[in-house]
Amino acid sequence: MNPKGYKSLILSFLESNSRIHSPKSTSSHFHSKSSFTHQTPIQNITKLDDAYKLFDEMSQRTPLPSVVKFNMLLNAVTNMNHYSCSINLFKQMGVVHIPFDTYTINIVIKCCCKLNYTNSGFAVLGFAFKHAVAPDVCTFNTLLNGLVVEVRILEVELLFKKLVKQELCEPDVVMYSTVIKGLCKIGNNAIAMNLLKLMSKTGCKPSVFTYNTIIDSLCKDKQVDDALKMFNRMIFKERVPPDIVTYTSLIHGFCILGRWGEVSRMLKEMEGKMISPNVRTFSILVDSLSKEGRVEDVESVIGLMIKRGVDIDVIIYNSLLDVYCLRGEMIKAREVFDLIAFRGLTPDLVTYNSLLNGY
């Protein structure tokens, strides 16, 4: 589809969904692709002190190393989760007049957003414009995601609309998915589903993450039948294969409603597709079964987890312990408590509250 086509479609959608920013309440996967893939020793830096020493050494060379080298160093520091340090190094680049490019500002904006300083990220964008460095779709995706994390969904809508209207960039699957994540975060599932359909019309194929976001939101809102329809659309219309996150969300939805037949069907379907349940899947099963007092089933699930080598956390043991305590089976409850220590786990407040309640 040509740019004019996708622009008119999206703008029409946004105008017809003006309530996109009116959440009913405030009761998952973003990443941007780097165009830079070279491997050098800089990327092997694991200590902050080494990064600072290398920066000092690089900044004193004549001539200066290319901006690519400095970008790699900033990226290495960022990958160590030292976001503030990465921002400080960028400031030092300005002091010694080291040039920067789009990839540089993308790293710095990412750091700002990781620190929940999205406003600072916009300031960096303004700084880039001032120095004639053009942003790209990754820049805007990072800022949109920062706004979503801070639950500033009205601003997500306004920025998305501005990007389309002024043709600053063509939305990609990450951008659509980010906006959809924001809508689902405030419970606007209907508009999120409409935006998903719009993606196909603009020639942008939704990813498994896009579908998982909506399916999970629908399941948490007990709209499991709608989630199932979305699941079928995902598989049969878009040909997007589901993953463990997809099935776990559906299993959670069916567990909430006590539809155990559907839970069993999903587990069998996973087995047929060679998708193994993870610790979250098992945790949902254990928690739901525990709430219904189905202790034998809980024991079976935990036994299966041990057999498959799945790491069991204290939360799962707490669910079983709480069931025993509620049933007054304190000998078994104590056995679970001892097992927690045997497994090298630390009992928490919930563990002791359950035991006190039982005794």
Confidence at residue 2, expressed as pLDDT on a 0 to 100 scale: 57
pLDDT tens, position by position, 292-307: 888 888 888 888 888 8
Most confident listed range (33-47, 142-156, 275-289, 339-353): 142-156
Side chain identity at 356, as an amino acid letter?
A: L
The domain ranges of the chain are 29-150
Closest CA to 323 of 283, 357, 278: 357
Check: CB of residue 78 under 8 Å from CB of residue 107: yes
Whole-number Å distance between alpha carbons of 269 and 264: 9
Q: Which residue has the higher pLDDT, 103 or 308?
A: 103
User: 155 phi and psi, to 5 degrees?
Assistant: -70, -30
Angle at 286 between CA 311 and CA 283, to 5 degrees: 45
State whether residue 33 is helix, strand or coil: coil
pLDDT band at 38 (very low <50, low <70, confident <90, very high): very low
pLDDT band at 7 (very low <50, low <70, confident <90, very high): low
Confidence at residue 45, expressed as pLDDT on a 0 to 100 scale: 80
pLDDT band at 159 (very low <50, low <70, confident <90, very high): very high
Closest CA to 327 of 295, 356, 349: 295
The two tokens of residue 151 are 């639950």
pLDDT tens, position by position, 304-355: 888 888 888 899 899 989 989 988 999 999 999 999 989 899 999 999 999 9
Whole-number Å distance between alpha carbons of 338 and 351: 11
Q: Is the pLDDT of residue 3 over 80?
A: no
Q: Is the pLDDT of residue 1 over 60?
A: no
Angle at 301 between CA 300 and CA 303, to 5 degrees: 65
Confidence at residue 143, expressed as pLDDT on a 0 to 100 scale: 97
* Mean pLDDT confidence for 126-139: 94
Chain-centre distance of CA 38, in angstroms? Answer: 26
User: Burial, 27: exposed, middle or buried (Cβ in 10 Å; 0-12, 13-18, 19+)?
Assistant: exposed
* Mean pLDDT confidence for 131-141: 95
Q: What percent of the chain lies above the pLDDT cut of 90?
A: 67
Q: Is the pLDDT of residue 37 over 80?
A: no
Q: Is the pLDDT of residue 192 over 50?
A: yes
Whole-number Å distance between alpha carbons of 284 and 286: 6
Whole-number Å distance between alpha carbons of 128 and 80: 25
DSSP state, 96? T
Start-to-end Cα distance in the chain: 68
Whole-number Å distance between alpha carbons of 101 and 258: 54
Side chain identity at 134, as an amino acid letter?
A: A
Check: CB of residue 3 under 8 Å from CB of residue 184: no
